[in-house]
Chains A and B, each alone.
Chain A
Amino acid sequence: MIALLNLFSVKSSRLAGAPRLMAAYLMRSNRAAPQRLVPPILLGLGGVLAFVLLYAERDWVEESIQWLRHQILAATGLAIIVSAIATARRRVSKRAEFARSWLAALPVRARIAGWETLFIETLPAAAAVGALTGVYLAVTVVAAFTPAHGGSASLVWAAMSGGVMLGAILSYGIPNPKPIDLPPGSRYVPHRRVAKTSTVRPSLKALGLWPLRLMFARAQPKLVARAILPILVLMPLGTLAADAMVIIAFYMVGGALLLLIPAAISVSGLSARWMAPLPVRGFAVTRAVLIPTLIAIVGASAAEGLFLFAIGASLRASAIAGSVLAGAGCLLTMTAARLWRARTPSARSRG
């Protein structure tokens, strides 16, 4: 035990001059042992699974490597661009985060601060190179078992890894992207502006708005824009504008449902905790929270059925799809909300 403690203090003292790394190391050490073991175990299992898949699909892997070999310039260029943009974005967000951090005011030697910052900012690029190396080693091992295979993997690995590293270096030469400063969630919530304070009418109705507002708060405009882009890209050439609109609407309503259901579940827990000191039965709170959400789910499911009909599905299939979606959505929301509410601390017996 004492040896373990010594080891711990030696490791942490080595990082003492680099407070951000030391804090990260200590936070990791504070996790319970089983939690610490999960990532390496998952990584190991993932590696074995990947190796088995690579071996089973060795012909396809060989074809892919050959294809990449022919597209080596484009692939390297893409790796450089993606790595440069991602590293620059991480740099901006990490610097903004550090400026607000509890460690910001600590004195750190300039040389150590420089290395620490560089390590933190380029960590994903280094991890990507590590992952590429892992895949390359696995492919090499697979190739060793199948003499007919192998070949271009080294070139592809070197080009891609070099591209990622070059991109990370080049990112320090490009201007900083606009810093992302997350505003309050309510900024994204549509809300009627009231010029004059309206009358306070006692009611639990406002609880019903809470999940819908949480849905809007989570669906920030940037996320919505990013979600639409792949849909537009995947749409086949020659698609009519009207069809495209219907398809986008279909995905948007589906996305809204994906956000609304978890929002309703988490609000059921939050409201239970907030309302615990009030003389109101749990059922009344759940009803007030869930009824507008369930109405929204049924409405959205009907719309999804209608969109399916509009893009050519039969009336019967559209009606079945809409009904199944509504039923499953409502059932999932009610069950999960009940379970979530039951596991909130206010409902648990302690001591």
Chain B
Amino acid sequence: MTSVSGHVLAIRDLRAGYGRRVVLENISMTLAPGDWYVLLGPNGCGKSTLLDCVAGRLVAGGGEISIAGFSLVADPYEAKLRLGYACAPDALPALLTARQCLEVHAGAKGLSAIAEDIFLLAEELNFTPYLESFVDTLSLGTRQKLAVLLALVGDPLLIVLDEAFNGLDPASALGVKRHLRARLDRRGGAVLLATHSLDIVEHYADRAAVLIDGRLKKEWQQDEIRQLRTSHGDFEAALAQSIRMS
């Protein structure tokens, strides 16, 4: 895979919506190698729409998205080759087995084999016994684990996760968070995560932003998050205060 010299993800003046309804407007952001970027915001503010645009599931109305320097519009193949997206658990194909889902993802990325660390993570998440099960027989949490594993196939530079910790038991959620952190430290890619869990911002995120009514209202850089962590006893209250002041 190519080494990262510039931005892993660059979004410029993104505009997107559904029909006449504009959901996102003037969104610009960049993710540098090693960034764990958390997207916060109330329900319906456009987080999932933004991730759908980054994953190429939704064609933006305007603006540019590039992954590792490759435009999602001009060169979608190269851009998507460097992207790992965890879809919603109910979007997984019900009548394929978990193993077949992995095979399809690996086949689409042109891999000859799946890296050992995916199987190690599957083992850690206690997912291996479900590899031969049909997706429609899996519980919500198990399907969520499969969605995360699929996002990691092909060692992508950019990992996009939409509420990926919903339904995961605490041990599995911790396993995934640690795996992602270790992967970022080793690989130098980036994680873009939409979530409501402030503990991830507190313990794992390098940068965070809050999206309100389709606009990025406030963005915290690495040193600001570090400051929030150290100077306040109550991280959640400090973060809320910071949003109010913006």
Which of the 9-residue segments B30-38, B109-117, B167-175, B198-206 touches chain A? Answer: B109-117
Q: Does B186 contact A (CB under 8 A)?
A: no
**A280 to B105 alpha-carbon distance, docked (Å):** 10
Q: Is the CB of B128 within 8 A of A197?
A: yes
Q: Is the CB of B107 within 8 A of A202?
A: yes
Q: Is the CB of B108 within 8 A of A186?
A: no
Q: Is the CB of A273 within 8 A of B91?
A: yes
B225: A residues at CB distance < 8 A: none
Number of cross-chain contacts by CB at 8 Å: 133
Q: Does A14 contact B (CB under 8 A)?
A: no
Q: Is the CB of B59 within 8 A of A348?
A: yes
Instruction: Please judge, given known A-B contacts A184-B94, A184-B134, whether A280 and B108 are in contact too, CB under 8 Å.
Output: yes
Interface residues of A in 274-299 (CB under 8 A from B): 274-281, 284
Total chain B interface residues with beta-carbon distance under 8 A: 55
Q: Does B95 contact A (CB under 8 A)?
A: yes
**A281 to B77 alpha-carbon distance, docked (Å):** 8
A148: B residues at CB distance < 8 A: none
Q: Does A130 contact B (CB under 8 A)?
A: no
The one of A184, A206, A350 in contact with B103, judged by C-beta atoms closer than 8 angstroms, is A206
**A271 to B100 alpha-carbon distance, docked (Å):** 13
Q: Is the CB of A279 within 8 A of B109?
A: yes
Which of the 9-residue segments A108-116, A151-159, A208-216, A320-328 touches chain B? Answer: A208-216
Interface residues of A in 312-351 (CB under 8 A from B): 345-346, 348-351
User: Nearest B residue to A203 by beta-carbon distance?
Assistant: B107
In the assembled complex, how far is the CB of residue B106 from the closest CB belonging to chain A, in whole angstroms? 3
Q: Does B125 contact A (CB under 8 A)?
A: no
Q: Does A185 contact B (CB under 8 A)?
A: yes
Main SS of the interface on chain B?
Answer: mixed
Q: Is the CB of B136 within 8 A of A206?
A: no
**A149 to B137 alpha-carbon distance, docked (Å):** 62
**A276 to B55 alpha-carbon distance, docked (Å):** 8
**A63 to B162 alpha-carbon distance, docked (Å):** 67
**A194 to B133 alpha-carbon distance, docked (Å):** 10
Q: Does B92 contact A (CB under 8 A)?
A: yes
B55: A residues at CB distance < 8 A: 276-277
Q: Is the CB of B96 within 8 A of A202?
A: no
- Interface 0/1 of B75-90, CB less than 8 Å to A: 0111111010101000
Q: Does B42 contact A (CB under 8 A)?
A: no
Q: Does B60 contact A (CB under 8 A)?
A: yes
A276: B residues at CB distance < 8 A: 55-57
Q: Is the CB of A202 within 8 A of B111?
A: yes
**A350 to B62 alpha-carbon distance, docked (Å):** 9
User: Nearest B residue to A281 by beta-carbon distance?
Assistant: B77
In the assembled complex, how far is the CB of residue B95 from the closest CB belonging to chain A, in whole angstroms? 4
A226: B residues at CB distance < 8 A: none
**A344 to B53 alpha-carbon distance, docked (Å):** 15
Q: Is the CB of A197 within 8 A of B107?
A: no
B24: A residues at CB distance < 8 A: 351
Q: Is the CB of B96 within 8 A of A210?
A: yes
Q: Does B229 contact A (CB under 8 A)?
A: no
In the assembled complex, how far is the CB of residue B220 from the closest CB belonging to chain A, in whole angstroms? 27
Q: Does A245 contact B (CB under 8 A)?
A: no
In the assembled complex, how far is the CB of residue A290 from the closest CB belonging to chain B, in whole angstroms? 15
**A271 to B92 alpha-carbon distance, docked (Å):** 9
Q: Does A191 contact B (CB under 8 A)?
A: yes
Which of the 9-residue segments B12-20, B176-184, B234-242 touches chain A? Answer: B12-20
Q: Is the CB of A202 within 8 A of B78?
A: no
Q: Does A30 contact B (CB under 8 A)?
A: no
A198: B residues at CB distance < 8 A: 99, 132
Q: Is the CB of B93 within 8 A of A351?
A: no
Q: Does A205 contact B (CB under 8 A)?
A: yes
**A209 to B97 alpha-carbon distance, docked (Å):** 11
In the assembled complex, how far is the CB of residue A213 from the closest CB belonging to chain B, in whole angstroms? 4
Q: Is the CB of A351 within 8 A of B15?
A: yes
**Most chain B CB within a 10 A radius of its CB, from A204, A273, A275, A277:** A277
Interface residues of B in 126-170 (CB under 8 A from A): 128, 131-132, 134, 136-137, 160
B91: A residues at CB distance < 8 A: 273-274
Q: Does A217 contact B (CB under 8 A)?
A: yes
Q: Does A200 contact B (CB under 8 A)?
A: yes
User: Nearest B residue to A192 by beta-carbon distance?
Assistant: B132
Q: Does A207 contact B (CB under 8 A)?
A: yes
Q: Does B74 contact A (CB under 8 A)?
A: no
Q: Does B190 contact A (CB under 8 A)?
A: no
Q: Is the CB of A350 within 8 A of B96?
A: no
Q: Is the CB of B61 within 8 A of A350?
A: yes
User: Nearest B residue to A275 by beta-carbon distance?
Assistant: B108
Lowest 5 A-B CB distances belong to which pairs? Answer: A351-B61, A202-B106, A186-B134, A206-B100, A279-B80
Q: Given A198-B132, A200-B113, A278-B105, 16 other A-B contacts at CB below 8 A? A: A191-B134, A202-B109, A202-B110, A202-B112, A202-B114, A203-B106, A204-B107, A209-B96, A210-B96, A214-B95, A276-B55, A276-B57, A277-B55, A277-B160, A280-B109, A281-B77
Residues of B within 8 A of A (CB): 15-19, 22-24, 55-62, 76-81, 83, 85, 87, 91-97, 99-114, 128, 131-132, 134, 136-137, 160
A-B residue pairs in contact (CB < 8 Å), sample of 14: A186-B137, A191-B97, A202-B106, A206-B100, A209-B96, A210-B93, A274-B92, A277-B56, A278-B105, A279-B77, A349-B59, A350-B16, A351-B23, A351-B59
Residues of A within 8 A of B (CB): 184-186, 189, 191, 194, 197-198, 200-207, 209-210, 213-214, 217, 270-271, 273-281, 284, 345-346, 348-351
